[in-house]
A and B are shown apart, each in its own frame.
Chain A
Amino acid sequence: MITSPSLRYVAIPDREGRVELTGAWNLAALGKQINLLRSQLATYAANQGLHWDLKGVDSLDTVGAALLWQAWGERRVKNLSLRPEHDALFVGLGSTGEHVSPGARYDWTVPVVTIGESVLAFLSYLYAAVQLFGQLALDAAYLLARPSRAPWREISTNIYRAGAQALPITALLGFLIGVVIGYLSAEQLRIFGAGVYIINILGISIIRELGPVLCAILVAGRSGSAMTAQLGVMKITQELDALSVMGISHTTRLILPKVVALAVSLPLLVLWTDAAALLGGMVSAGFELDISYRFFLTRLPDVVPIANLWLGFSKAVVFGLLIGIIACQFGLRIHRDTSSLAIGTTTSVVTSITIVIVTDSIFAVLFSHVGLR
């Protein structure tokens, strides 16, 4: 049914020749021949005076018309005869506005502007985060006075999701890290015949540093991203607006439960991860250095002051608060398009992890005299 598109040149003595187009000039028919036809059209179009006869064209669609239009140099040729029903296509092509694609010229001020913009963006994030923290504190104070209005159900859901459901993965990770550190330390300590100090190394490093940081990084990746994405999608689907018009505050109903849940569940997760990591280290030490589990467990409280545990714990609370606030902050900043959701979630996780490590080093400096003999 579809006749393939073709064109031929008819020479007329004493006058300019004629180009005759026949067949179906539409997308389906043009198909693979399009490049061949385009070059043929271009050769004929170079000769300005030619007569173009389109009367033999059975069907013409916008693609076919645009092909001709491009060959003619985006204007109608002088000598053109065509079927009346095809005329509208060329009229349409002639009346379009000019598309100005945004220029990609290199501007020397770009580096300066970029740096300036990122500094300003950082400040605005900081400002918004402090503001959010303040709002949460006010909300918390308000709810403490009226405990019946507190979003207990949401808090409990979030604790379950961010805490309870993270138990298996944190245990696995903690155990493996414990095994690895135990093994590596055992190798080194054996050289000095100081194998028994493996308990000090494992105890201090895990309880004071590794447990909280490891857990916080995992939770930032696991729950922080989920929180950002959830708030972002709620913004895109206008659920946040719906809550606003019902007079339900975002901070009390959505953000506070998340932040509180992280602040509660992260220390508990840290305790759990510490236990798993110490177990791993203990197994490792048992294999490598023949330190009995019983000896390991009785020795541990003697060599690791209890202050380390409290330090790890309080760090975990702070990390939980920070991850929660950062995740929600970025979630609220997502615009109504999909790429901003992707960027927002990525930035949220990266920022959370960075902030966790920065805060950890601040803790390390501030408490350098605590818990270490």
Chain B
Amino acid sequence: MMNEECVIEVEGLWTRFGETVIHRDINLCVHRGEVLALVGGSGSGKTTLLRQMLGLEKPARGTVCLFCQALRSCGPDAMRQMHNRCGVLFQDGALFTALTVYDNVALPLRELGLLDEAVINSLVMVKLDLVEIAAADAEKFPAELSGGMVKRVALARAIALDPELLFLDEPTAGLDPERSESFVKLIKMLRSQLHLTVVMATHDLNSVVELSDRVAVLTDQRLVAVAPLKELIKLDDPFIRSFFLGERGRCALTGMENARLSA
């Protein structure tokens, strides 16, 4: 691992919805510069954990620190500064349907109140170019875009402020295999360009294999393991075995090996 500085630190986190416990004593540290994949079955609370890291939800117990600052004790100004350093790609994109593609990406830049329209214009166009959205599509509304394009525009918006930390919630869900592969490539490329730390919640084994430095496995309310994929598959846990070493898992893993051999 690079240095051991924690960008996100989760300590003793519990989540309850009414009587149901979602998370039981979660401890996690996300290192600077790494890609951490958060895997787990449906309903295991991956998205909830992401939302708690962003401060959108408050855990029942425990603390979440972002950039060494506890979210709980943050005032609104500190919170805003912190959010300016984070980019989030929501599962369904969460583009503002009333705004065009261009305005969606420009919004976080305009909200800063520092940049003039000319600079914003070139920034937006660079970001759109980066996610391979043609300039001709910039004046379209989200309702006119395909699912894959919505995801890419949402990613452009997420990286509009050159964040240090990028949250991806199911980045490849709902994309066809080819699209999801190019999306994974795109994130890889962005990562090398922008020196990102990435936390992604996903189901998709291929993107876990392709992107992640470490994998955190959430199951039965607990974080059972946080380790690089290679070490992870050696662990003896029923969920890990079925998730990674089932038919699909083996496929993805051998795909990785084959690619490495041919490279």
Q: Which of A70, A93, A101 contacts B118 (CB 8 A)?
A: A70
Contact A337:B98 (CB < 8 A) given known A63-B123, A96-B126? yes
Complex Cα distance A61/B134, Å?
22
Set of chain B residues within 8 Å of A100, measured between Cβ atoms: 135, 139
Contact A92:B130 (CB < 8 A) given known A62-B162, A67-B119? yes
Q: For the complex, is A99 an interface residue (Cβ under 8 Å from B)?
A: yes
Complex Cα distance A140/B74, Å?
59
Q: For the complex, is A98 an interface residue (Cβ under 8 Å from B)?
A: yes
Decide if B85 touches A28 in the complex (CB within 8 Å).
yes
Set of chain B residues within 8 Å of A38, measured between Cβ atoms: 116
Nearest-CB distance from B83 to chain A (Å)? 13
Chain A residue nearest to B189 (CB atoms) is A88
Query: Considering the complex, which residues of chain A in the window 320-373 have a beta carbon less than 8 Å from any beta carbon of chain B?
Result: 335-339
CB 8 Å contact bits of A100-136 with B (1 = contact, 0 = none):
1110000000000000000000000000000000000
User: Interface residue tally of chain A, by bracket?
Assistant: 20 to 34
Nearest-CB distance from B143 to chain A (Å)? 5
Decide if A96 touches B194 in the complex (CB within 8 Å).
no
Set of chain B residues within 8 Å of A144, measured between Cβ atoms: none
Decide if A99 touches B162 in the complex (CB within 8 Å).
no
Decide if B162 touches A26 in the complex (CB within 8 Å).
yes
Q: Which of B98, B122, B139, B193 contacts A70 (CB 8 A)?
A: B122
Q: Is the interface of A mostly helix, strand, loop or mixed?
A: helix
Contact A34:B129 (CB < 8 A) given known A26-B162, A93-B122? no
Query: Considering the complex, which residues of chain B in the window 115-151 have a beta carbon less than 8 Å from any beta carbon of chain A?
Result: 115-116, 118-119, 121-130, 134-136, 138-139, 141-143
Nearest-CB distance from B186 to chain A (Å)? 13
Contact A70:B126 (CB < 8 A) given known A34-B114, A63-B162, A100-B139? no
Q: For the complex, is B233 an interface residue (Cβ under 8 Å from A)?
A: no
Contact A70:B119 (CB < 8 A) given known A99-B124, A99-B135? yes
Set of chain A residues within 8 Å of B85, measured between Cβ atoms: 28
Q: For the complex, is A95 an interface residue (Cβ under 8 Å from B)?
A: yes
Chain A residue nearest to B98 (CB atoms) is A339
Query: Considering the complex, which residues of chain A in the window 47-94 have a beta carbon less than 8 Å from any beta carbon of chain B?
Result: 61-63, 66-67, 69-70, 74, 88-89, 92-93
Q: For the complex, is B175 an interface residue (Cβ under 8 Å from A)?
A: no
Chain B residue nearest to A31 (CB atoms) is B114
Decide if B126 touches A62 in the complex (CB within 8 Å).
yes
Decide if A338 touches B98 in the complex (CB within 8 Å).
yes
The contact sample of 19 A-B pairs, CB cut-off 8 A, is A27-B162, A28-B85, A38-B116, A63-B115, A67-B119, A92-B126, A92-B129, A92-B130, A93-B122, A96-B122, A96-B126, A96-B128, A97-B129, A99-B102, A99-B138, A335-B143, A337-B141, A337-B142, A339-B97
Interface residues of A (CB under 8 A from B): 26-28, 30-32, 34-35, 38, 61-63, 66-67, 69-70, 74, 88-89, 92-93, 95-102, 335-339
